[in-house]
Every structure is written in C-alpha cells, then in structure tokens.
Chain A
C-alpha cells in the first residue's frame, strides 16, 4: 500500500512558520496535485515528503511506515525536479541507473530496469547520449525515467513542466497522465498552474501561505469552492467578485445596482457579502432579479468564444464569456444576467456561505 498520510505537519524556518498544520492523505494509486501561488509552501511540503527538508512537528507515513526520521533514500520515494537535475557528466543510461548502483543492486538488474524504463518513455535511442545533447522534453523524460527505475512507492514531481514551452507542456501533460494509468503509481505533483492541476489531478490541494485552503476532487473545487481564495484561484479566467451589503433580500452593490439573492437563511440584513460568479456563467441580455447594467469596455475574441470586459457603474470591471458573433461593440450599453444556480456567496470572513 503506497499511501501517504500526513498529520498535523508543521515546519518553521527559525521564527517563520512555513507549513501550518497540514493534514493530508494521498490514497494509494491516486494523483494528488499541490497547487498555489509562489511562496505558498507547496514545494516545501513536497520536499518534506521527500525528506530533503526536516519538519518541526507532526507525523508522516509512507506505505504505513513512519518516515519522519528517515533519509530520502530510505523512504522509497523518487523525485522529478523542476530543472531535471540530470548529472551532466554521465550519459542517459548511467543517469537513470545511478541510484541503484549505490544501493548495491546487481548489474543485470540495473540494466533490466533501465531498459524497461527507456522502453516506456521511448528513450531507447538516447541511452548513450549526454544530457547536453538532449532537448528539454527529452531531458524531462530521462528525469522521469530515473524516477521509474527506482520503483518507488510514491513519485514526487516538482513543477516538472515549468521549463517547457507551451506546446510541449500540453503534450507532456498528456504523457504524464498516461504514465500514471500505466504504472498505477501514487503521485504527488506540485504546480502553480491551475490548468495542469485541474486536468491531471484525482485530488487537488490548494495551498496558501503554508496552509491548505481546500482539498478535494477538481470539479468539487470548481463548483463548490470553500472560500474566496480557492474560488479566485481555480478557473480561468478567474471568477468575478462583487461585494456589497445585504438589504431587503438583495445584495446592494452601490452604484452598480442590486442583485436579488436566492433565499438563503444564513444571510441577514446588514451583512457584508461577496458574490462570486464565473465568466462562463454570465450571459449578455436577459432580465430578472439577477441582472446588472454595464458598458462594454473591451471584447477579446479567441475564435468561437471570446471574453467581454464590462464596466459597471462603480467602475468595477466584470468579465463574461461570449459565444459566436456578438451583437454589440465597445462603448455599447449591455445587460448582464447571472445564472442563479451558479452564484457563490462568501461571507465577510471569506468563507463560503451554505
């Protein structure tokens, strides 16, 4: 069982707490993505799982074994680094088999495993080349090959796609997803790109300032974000936020207008709320209680779909997704209507209201 279980993990660098009370379970065979902005602690958490960083308190088990005091080599993990970290002075085959040499694995076994990994990753013609003779994508695969050869319980990926160009990134993303299914491996993957997170993960863990903001299935986070941070982080373009005060069952947005609130018992008059709605859940035109007046600031066309930037009376700009040929132009007045099923309410503390 290659399950990773982390309980109440804390880590401090001197007086600064970089990881605060992390509780996380990575089920056997699942693909868990740690995502968040720079400095949120995701890489630190990954390195702590690897054993490259010590922890201040809390427990961590891999495959049922407690690993807090074990060095990386004994944790049965393998890591793929952001800049691949290939040994420049060794060829591809040697790079992949390096760790096994030091573990005392017999030569024949090393060769067998290296060849197997090379086959899976289509690296066979490259085995005798040195890293500097390889392209970025090829080096990536060698780094992954090195991890596969170790036959670890858990694979750790540290932003492996950041150094690739856009097209290669998409291809490699697909390759990694396929690899996961093929090897039935337990993977913990770090990225700052929420698109990668959404497409690859069985479970997403959104982190911010050393804390887990929310963890769960990608679509759960998409449809039911637990707080403002997660709501604004997941989904591209980001969710639109409108803040106002509750009065007479409506959300008063000041000069921008009023929005009828769906009947929810937990709101009271005078409460300050933030309403969130995704660009894809806004429509132009329509009527009813959930409409706003706006002028068209800018239209970005991407082909069949596009994004309209709409300025409210308060000056606040809201983005709506539009399809087909829009019947309006910059400067026109427009009515925006919100899909009542897809509206999120967040309280003054930033958390989701029921």
Chain B
C-alpha cells in the first residue's frame, strides 16, 4: 500500500544525509592523492593522472614512525580486548554461577564504572602509573582501558552466561570436571558470540582514544596512531599534502575493518547500551 511518492521522499532524506556523512571523508581521501595546486584549484575533482601526486604519503611514511604507531595501537587494542574478555568472562562467571551474599553489592560497585567516566580519576591514574614505573609504556594503556571496559563487559557477558542451560554445567560437574575445566572448555566456547560483540564494542573507543595516550604515553615511540596523527598534524600544519595523507592513513584501515565487521558492531552497541 506504499505510495511511490512517499518512498521517494524517504530515500531522498536518507540519501542526502548519507552524502553529508560521507562527503568530508571522501573529499579528504581523494585530495590526499593530488598535487597541491590541484587540491586548491579543483578540490572536487577525483585524483586523475594529470593531478596525481602522492608526495604527502612519502612524508607520512617517510620517517617510519607510522608503522610503529600502528603497531602500538594494535598492541594496545588487542591487549585490552584479550584482558577484558578473559577477566570479564571470569568475573561474569563467578557472579552468575556462584551466588553469594555480596552479589548485589558487587554489581553496584561495578555499575559505578559504567556511569562515571574513568577520565575523572586521571590525576591519580597518572600518579599510580608513575609509581609503577609504567609511564610511556603500552602496558599502562592496556591496564587503564581494561579497567574502563570491564564493567560493561561483565554485565553483557553475565547476561549471556545466565542463558547457558544449567544442565550443561551440571553435567560437567557430574562428569568429574573441575570448575576450571568447566569454565574454559564448556562455558567459554559457548560465549563466543557474546565475546565477539564485546570485542567489537570495545575496539573502537580504545583505538580512537586521544586522552590516555596523551597523558600516559606521549613520547618515546609509544604513541598510538591516534596520538601520532595528532602530533604529526600539529607539526606539518601548513603542508596540505602531508596533512591530507596523514588523515587518509588514519581513516582507511578503520573504514575497511568497519565495513567488514559492521553487523557485529551494531549488535554490540545495542546490547551494551540497553544495560
């Protein structure tokens, strides 16, 4: 019963907004491949043989730091995900399976972390990290991000664990498995979809974060790519080629990953926030 007119209106609105969302990104990437003159005179033209000039990229990749920064970001992100999932699953399992008196208290304790932004404690975090001799290390970042993401991960995983049929766990016990066996060989594999969701949900904010790398690991080759780009931009601010290339270098890998994982990501966001 849909009249064609209203379908056109809907698609127009959605289409226009999509253009608005994509336009700046496309513009930056396109122009990063053009010569300086072409950038200014014909900004809307895509890179063509006559205005092609990857000079910006040579500067970006020139001092070799970019590869290092990417590695740092990957280490931090993967490290955070691994710790968050492992410790989060363990804690979620303990909370769900072993009911004890302090359950609700713990749940409330953890929910503070969800509502209150961890950044507010930065003053002390810096102090602690310094005391532990972890300034300018990736370890510090991993620990802080893990702390930040644990509460939500625990809640999401708890929900999933609660849905695992009790029979499976009981059967394991009857078969004489230790609790550790049950957890690692029965529960964890069943949690895989939930863990994938949490992983994707955690990945983006950690990768894109500027605050903690700025505070805890600003120098010494331990910068993440986000911080690295920020510093690079500050340095090359008038060199348009370099700047556009740097931005594109930061954009493209994330976009590619996003397009591949978009469905899991959206599922992760929705299940997380509803809690």
Contacts and interface: CB of A to CB of B under 8 A. Distances in A.
CB–CB under 8 A between A and B in the complex?
Answer: yes
Interface of A: 51-52, 54, 71
Interface residues of B, number: 1
A51 B1 CA distance: 8
B3 to A, nearest CB: 10
Contacts of B1: 51-52, 54, 71
4 contacts: A51-B1, A52-B1, A54-B1, A71-B1
Contacts of A51: 1
A301 to B, nearest CB: 34
A335 to B, nearest CB: 49
A71 B3 CA distance: 11
Interface of B is mostly: loop
A221 to B, nearest CB: 34
A283 B1 CA distance: 56
B120 to A, nearest CB: 38
Nearest to B2: A54
A52 B1 CA distance: 7
Interface string B1-33: 100000000000000000000000000000000
A75 to B, nearest CB: 11
Nearest to A51: B1
A67 to B, nearest CB: 12
A14 to B, nearest CB: 16
Contacts, number: 4
Contacts of A54: 1
Contacts of A71: 1
B7 to A, nearest CB: 14
B4 to A, nearest CB: 13
Contacts of A52: 1
Nearest to A71: B1
A51 B2 CA distance: 12
A41 to B, nearest CB: 19
A54 B1 CA distance: 6
A52 B2 CA distance: 10
Nearest to A69: B1
Nearest to A52: B1
A239 to B, nearest CB: 41
Among all A-B residue pairs, the 4 with the closest Cβ atoms:
A71-B1, A54-B1, A51-B1, A52-B1
Nearest to A53: B1
A71 B1 CA distance: 7
A257 B1 CA distance: 59
A107 B39 CA distance: 66
A69 to B, nearest CB: 9
Nearest to A70: B1
B53 to A, nearest CB: 49
B74 to A, nearest CB: 45
A54 B3 CA distance: 12
B228 to A, nearest CB: 51
A71 B2 CA distance: 10
Interface in B78-104: none
B155 to A, nearest CB: 25
B6 to A, nearest CB: 13
A50 to B, nearest CB: 11
A173 B60 CA distance: 77
Interface string B150-186: 0000000000000000000000000000000000000
A152 B53 CA distance: 72
B107 to A, nearest CB: 26
A223 to B, nearest CB: 42
A16 B76 CA distance: 52
B192 to A, nearest CB: 32
Interface in B203-237: none
A297 B14 CA distance: 66
B5 to A, nearest CB: 15
A28 B158 CA distance: 58
A161 to B, nearest CB: 28
A54 B4 CA distance: 14
A334 B22 CA distance: 80
A47 to B, nearest CB: 11
A4 to B, nearest CB: 19
A16 to B, nearest CB: 20
A7 B148 CA distance: 66
B131 to A, nearest CB: 54
Interface in B106-135: none
A54 to B, nearest CB: 6
A244 B22 CA distance: 70
B1 to A, nearest CB: 6
